[in-house]
Structure 1
């Protein structure tokens, strides 16, 4: 595998997954009932499972974690800023210690020779905003603009790049359609309002970030090819592709929603289109410096009795990770080349911003303290080959961020699955680099 000069090698995390309490006064557990903390606090508490109040303990162990980043040899680190940590109420007053935490984190990354990449939203919404409708409310987009402006005012002089939203497809599909993620709603086509307001928030944030002097700005979405299970499922697969990728990318790069989606909404839920106002698309189409790609596996699609007549599963007869995801590296190549094919000259540079999160396992240290995760090593190796293949086919890929640096709270899977290059003992918070950490470190050294 060969990669071009200047290719960005990084690792990534998400605030709610790894931070836990401390380091800025984040609230956890059932306090979300009182309108404080993250939307995930209340959602997890209501399901009777631990939320992110413990997580990976990064809020207190961050110096050790940044040393692990430096020793890994990556040139960049994509972390997310917790909105509920820096502005607990979602409007008005900002937390001084919350902002100071990310301010210091940025300085310490630079001191270790690692470029800071900051994501403003990785599914962590203040519960107070959710109480007012969350992404279903247009006002949330303007609150996001305010939040982005304040964070950029504090960090833009040192952060290499900002990601506005991380995987809004999953945030909407799992949080507002399927109910598996916070806030746990099942709205069907009415969830389009959440998607629209999130994309509006992105556009408003791009403007605020650039006004504050941001160097690079982009959005990252969860992309995957939609593969029909049989020849009779081609139409269903096309609809799935429009919902996952085109819905969250056409407004940015083509100035409007895909025709397939608009036709569907006009036929089945025309009232929801009223959320689109004059001028929205111009805001959403603000120029991007890069487009982030989050890939796990292809969508295996059948026409059926599921939502919108779609039944989406995993590709059969493939190796699977502990999360149940199928291992299909060629799907990543297809995703990257497909974005270039669809958007042509308007396709910005592509960054795999949350890469390889599907490499989940349940491995723990053996009697000698070593964490042997050979399956993850194979997974990483094959997916890096897929990126290299996309490059040879002309896809404008400019970087890869391996997710995650640390074990943490895995959303609807809680603490059952682990995706970190570094194993975290959730009782003691002891860090143990896995074999995959050492493997990637050696590969990066070989790359120079």
Structure 2
């Protein structure tokens, strides 16, 4: 058996704090916008589902790391709950919260697992939201100060840092469509939040260059767009959709520019970025994290504000989140990043699928053949991108555990480890057994 993956390729899994930790207010932690959102039945699609317990990882961390070791994970991408470390978002550090992440990192290292730390995975401290959140230009300074706290304590033990996870989702879901925290629906707010997120990213990278000695990057969710037809209308819709989702954050971060299509999309809500803002957003990063789940076959329509929609494929397999299974899109998007952004180092920082799994494991086993097939195809797609020249350094499967799928609650299971949410029993799914073999053979078992 041969493998397209280099010998130093990094195999891991990914999670996010609010989705797995539980105990969101324990030991002096401050509330987050997701704590507020999930407890508001007017906002939460899955009414009654919250992160109060989730996977109880806050109390089960050591056992969970032992499970990671059992799976052979070489890396674990996690996020820090900002409000655990700084309950008010700024000011006094909560020692108990910072100590939790220090214990997590030390436990990972003791088990031979490299920590990848994401500073922001959507759970802004509520105290900062009360001050305007990502609509306040001071948010860049707030974020940089928080980042310094983490760098000062953990840089060296953590050698790979991520500033933001998926700024597109933060703004599209949280400020434009109201489906995610903080639950706003305002076309004027979305571009302001986007700009401040990228200013915050740049400010954190600058702070890291002052004190850090390793690597820092940005994670974006990318969804390759394919035209529904060759019509001028569909071609223009594709350009808008690509600019809005795939270029809106990478262009400022790497090229120091904004896609021209954004002015068309946002209309009177759009304001050109200043030279200073573009310069702040454009900091040298060490890698790009790519989160990939699906593609979009794009056609022109009257959707707000993009005037572009998706054409469903009649013979395709779709996940329970309504996303088409299309592994070729992962190869395509990795090569697109290579070509458009100067061949950066890339980590696939999320990739996975929600399919139906029973709420209770039967006789200690969960068979998930669709997820097994999904992983086989998508990991092979990463291998194809590497063979074609993409500089992909690692793959972080989403997700290690079934968890709170944000506003959709516990109804969507992405994990390769099944969680019985009544008992917190963990059970390896068949997909976990496959992934363990993938890691052990550096992908050669997929031949």
1:152 to partner: Cα distance: 0.8
Are the counterparts in 1 of residues 24 and 52 from structure 2 also a CA contact under 8 Å?
no
Cross-structure match for 2:349: 353
Are the counterparts in 2 of residues 19 and 56 from structure 1 also a CA contact under 8 Å?
yes
Unaligned stretches of 5+ residues in structure 1:
28-35
Cross-structure match for 1:69: 68
Q: Deviations over 1:84-135 (max 9, x none)?
A: 2111211111211000000111111000001111000111111111122211
Quickly say closer, same or farther: Cα 1:365–1:46, change in 2 above 3 A: closer
Give secondary structure in 2 for the equivalent of 1:227: strand
Alignment partners' CA distance in 2, 1:7 and 1:303: 40
Give secondary structure in 2 for the equivalent of 1:279: helix
Alignment partners' CA distance in 1, 2:127 and 2:170: 18
Q: Deviations over 1:202-257 (max 9, x none)?
A: 00001112322241000000001112223231110110100111110011111111
Cross-structure match for 2:243: 242
Give secondary structure in 1 for the equivalent of 2:39: helix
Of the three residues 404, 412, 419, the one matched with 2:407 is: 412
Quickly say closer, same or farther: Cα 1:51–1:214, change in 2 above 3 A: farther
Alignment partners' CA distance in 2, 1:254 and 1:309: 23
1:292 to partner: Cα distance: 0.2
| Equivalenced residues, count | 433
TM-score, length basis structure 1: 0.93
Are the counterparts in 1 of residues 288 and 346 from structure 2 also a CA contact under 8 Å?
yes
Q: Which has the higher contact order (CA 8 A, sep 6+)?
A: 2
Alignment partners' CA distance in 1, 2:421 and 2:112: 29
Quickly say closer, same or farther: Cα 1:22–1:183, change in 2 above 3 A: closer
Give secondary structure in 2 for the equivalent of 1:282: helix
Alignment partners' CA distance in 1, 2:311 and 2:397: 22
Matched, 1:279 2:276: yes
TM-score, length basis structure 2: 0.93
Are the counterparts in 2 of residues 40 and 183 from structure 1 also a CA contact under 8 Å?
yes
Alignment partners' CA distance in 2, 1:363 and 1:348: 40
1:264 to partner: Cα distance: 4.8
CA RMSD of aligned residues (A): 1.8
Matched, 1:303 2:305: no
Cross-structure match for 1:444: 439
Matched, 1:323 2:321: yes
1:314 to partner: Cα distance: 6.0
Q: Deviations over 1:326-373 (max 9, x none)?
A: 100111111111111212xx33111001122x3443334443121111
Matched, 1:168 2:167: yes
Matched, 1:142 2:152: no
Matched, 1:6 2:8: yes
Alignment partners' CA distance in 2, 1:385 and 1:225: 18
Unaligned stretches of 5+ residues in structure 2:
42-46
Of the three residues 363, 376, 394, the one matched with 2:371 is: 376
Are the counterparts in 2 of residues 365 and 372 from structure 1 also a CA contact under 8 Å?
no
Quickly say closer, same or farther: Cα 1:50–1:25, change in 2 above 3 A: farther
Cross-structure match for 1:31: none
Quickly say closer, same or farther: Cα 1:364–1:435, change in 2 above 3 A: farther
